[in-house]
């Protein structure tokens, strides 16, 4: 005699169908801005056209010194952004600080 299970059989699940006959338009508010490239340049959201470095103080303070250069200056340096990466607000602040420092050095 076969043992009977007191468990009721699982109901069959039918796959849900998706109605593809109606035309759905994408929600314009849901379009991601990252899908549109900002081009190459040094403004926020653009792609950096080259590497950007700034030398660090050799005295050991670690303070950035000198202008922004596009090849490693040798010694201690900080890479601000790599070629092909998106320029962020932080990168732009670093570039602006370097420009302000250079302008201050010319005046003083």
Report whether pLDDT(1) > 60.
no
Side-chain-side CA neighbours of 102 within 13 Å: the count stands at 12
Task: Please report which confidence band the pLDDT of residue 62 belongs to, taking 50, 70 and 90 as the band edges.
Answer: confident
Q: What pTM, to 2 d.p., does this model score?
A: 0.62
Rounded distance between C-alpha atoms, residue 106 and residue 108, angstroms: 6
Cα–Cα distance, 55 to 28 (Å, whole number): 45
Question: How many helices (H) and strands (E) would you count in the chain?
Answer: 1, 3
Residue 70, both tokens: 């596009």
| pLDDT digits 0-9 by tens, 15-36 | 666 655 556 666 666 656 555 6
H-helix or E-strand containing 90? Answer: helix 89-107
Q: How far is 46 from 43, CA to CA, in rounded Å?
A: 6
Mean pLDDT computed over every residue of the chain: 80
């Amino acid at each position: 005699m076969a043992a009977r299970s007191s468990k009721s059989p699982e109901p069959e699940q039918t796959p849900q169908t998706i109605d593809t006959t109606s035309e759905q338009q994408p929600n314009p508010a849901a379009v991601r801005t990252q899908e549109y490239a900002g081009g190459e340049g040094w403004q926020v959201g653009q792609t950096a056209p080259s590497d950007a470095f700034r030398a660090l103080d050799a005295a050991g303070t670690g303070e950035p010194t000198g202008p922004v250069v596009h090849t490693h200056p040798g010694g201690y340096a900080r890479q601000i952004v790599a070629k092909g990466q998106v320029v962020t607000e932080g990168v732009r602040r670093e570039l602006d600080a370097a420009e302000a420092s250079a302008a201050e050095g010319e005046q003083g």
